Amino acid sequence: MAISASDMTPQALAALLSFYADSGVEELCEDAAIDRFEQSAAQSRAKSRPQAAAAPADSGQASGHPAASPQAERPRAAATAAPMTPAPQASQLTIPGEAAFEDARALAAGATTIAELRAALDGFTGCNLRHSAKTLVFADGNPQARVMFIGEAPGREEDIQGAPFVGRAGQLLDRMLGAIGLDRDTAYITNMIPWRPPGNRTPAPHEIELCRPFIERHVALAAPKIVVMLGNVASKSLLGTDKGILSLRGTWMDFQAGEVRIPALPTLHPAYLLRNPAQKRLVWADLLSLQARIEQLDAG
Ligand code: URA
């Protein structure tokens, strides 16, 4: 059900806006651009139209112009996808307490398959991000693949499609995979955080901690031979270091997934590369190192 301001009381609207502000939303805009010039031109046309022509018979036939239905004059954004999560209730919007962290740990630990983990995440209400996101963005690719890629969090396109790395950064990731002979059949792709943070802001530390048991369990259940962390958030939080990605990248480390240690390679995030294309040479070196490791697996 779409949230419409006109259906809400002023108090509910104020609570929702303050929720968005607390969640880090700094700008309010529609999913699709609205042509305000066209809107006001349409209003002026409507005002200057003789009363009779605007009456029920305003099908356009009398004037010889095509009908302008009420829908046609509505901004496009009003017709775009509705949020799938219900409007947040005030009680759901607090900073989570210890119970939410315990809940996350128990739910993640109780999942014995990837499908169960997905269902557990779907039922987890302790993270506020799920209330502003449209979808749960769980994973894409082959869960049996030997290489698992972990990004930061879904963006707008991922939130709409419910799959990770399907926007511009995802297209670049696909090219990066292709450069060393991988694709979504031979790689498994997920994110540290499965819900889009409002306005694509960086996830807050408590959101990362709430999602940590799920991603750690996800890696343990998928049991890849190699994990690649894309960008600062996944690398720093999963490898437990304060070092920035520019000093971490390209160095093989160990990631502890349950009982198992998995070789892990931090590298730059494709979204960063879109903004800093000159840094692609660094990622190319990391990809070659990854390819060499995969060849060792093939040989062994
Ligand atoms: N950036 C990410 O970290 N993950 C996505 O799924 C998309 C963009």
Here the tokens at position 203 are 């996830």
pLDDT, residue 42, reads 80
Q: State residue 16's pLDDT score.
A: 52
The model carries a pTM of 0.72
Burial 13-37 (b: 16+ CB within 10 A, else e): eebbeebbeebbbeeeeeeeeeeee
Alpha carbons 19 and 85: distance in angstroms, whole number:
15
Report if residue 75 sits inside a domain: no
Average pLDDT for 87-112? 81
Q: Residues near 273 by Cβ (< 8 Å), separated by ≥ 6?
A: 172, 279, 280, 283
Q: What is the mean pLDDT of residues 103-111?
A: 98
Tokens 């356009």 found at: 60
Pocket test for ligand 1, best of 129, 184, 191 (most atoms within 8 A of CB): 191
Task: Give residue 110's Cα distance to chain centre.
Answer: 25
Q: What is the pLDDT of residue 126?
A: 95
Digit-coded pLDDT (tens) for 198-239 = 999 999 999 999 999 999 999 999 999 999 999 999 999 999
The confidence score (pLDDT) of residue 63 equals 34
In a domain, 232, yes or no: yes
Rounded average pLDDT over 80-102? 62
Is residue 71 a part of any domain in this protein?
no
110 in a structural domain: yes
**pLDDT higher than 90, residue 106:** yes
Q: What is the pLDDT, as a whole number, of residue 45? A: 77
Domain membership of residue 135 (yes or no) is yes
Q: What is the CATH number of the domain that holds 136?
A: 3.40.470.10
Ligand 1 pocket, 197 CB below 6 A?
no
Q: What is the pLDDT of residue 300?
A: 83
pLDDT of 3 > 60? The answer is no
- Bridge partner list, 148: 188, 227
Entry field: residues in the chain: 300
Q: Which range is least confidently modeled, 59-68, 88-97, 132-141, 180-189?
A: 59-68
Q: Is the model's pLDDT at 68 over the cut of 90?
A: no
Decide which of 163 and 94 is more confident. 163
Query: Three-state secondary structure along the chain?
Result: CCCCHHHCCHHHHHHHHHHHHHCCCCCCCCCCCCCHHHHHHHHHHHHHCCHHHHCCCCCCCCCCCCCCCHHHHCCHHHHCCCCCCCCCCHHHCCCCCHHHHHHHHHHHHHCCCHHHHHHHHHHCCCCCHHHHCCCCCCEEECCCCCEEEEECCCCHHHHHHCCCCCCHHHHHHHHHHHHCCCCCCCEEEEECCCCCCHHHCCCCHHHHHHHHHHHHHHHHHHCCCEEEEECHHHHHHHHCCCCCHHHHCCCCEEEEECCEEEEEEEECCHHHHHHCHHHHHHHHHHHHHHHHHHHHHHHC
Q: For the chain, how many structural domains are there in total?
A: 1
Q: Is residue 48 part of a domain?
A: no
Residue 44 lies in a domain: no
Q: CA-to-CA distance for 216 and 188, rounded, in angstroms?
A: 14
Q: What does the pLDDT look like over 122-180, one tens digit per residue?
A: 999 999 999 999 999 999 999 999 999 999 999 999 999 999 999 999 999 999 999 99
Least confident window among 48-57, 166-175, 262-271, 281-290: 48-57
pLDDT recorded at residue 8: 66
Mean local confidence (pLDDT), 269-288: 98
Percentage of the chain lying above the pLDDT 90 cut: 67
141 lines ligand 1 (CB under 6 A): no
> pLDDT of 10-40, one tens digit each?
655 665 555 445 444 555 665 566 666 777 7
> Which atom of ligand 1 sits closest to the CA of residue 158?
6
Mutate to test the pocket of ligand 1, among 152, 172, 228, 272 (most ligand atoms within 8 A of CB): 152
The pair of three-digit structure tokens given for residue 96, joined into one six-digit string: 């989570």
Given a cut of 70, is residue 286 above it in pLDDT? yes
Q: Residue 295 CB: number of other CB atoms within 10 A?
A: 12
What residues make up the domain containing 170?
98-299
158 CB near ligand 1 (under 6 Å): yes
Ramachandran assignment for 199, one of left (phi > 0), alpha (psi -120 to 50 degrees), beta (any other) = left
pLDDT of residue 47 exceeding 80: no
The pLDDT mean for the chain works out to 83
Return the closest-CA partner of residue 288 out of 182, 197, 203: 182
Q: Tell me: pLDDT of 50 over 80.
A: no
271 in ligand 1 pocket by Cβ < 6 Å? yes
Q: Which two tokens stand for residue 239?
A: 């490898």
Q: Is residue 168 part of a domain?
A: yes
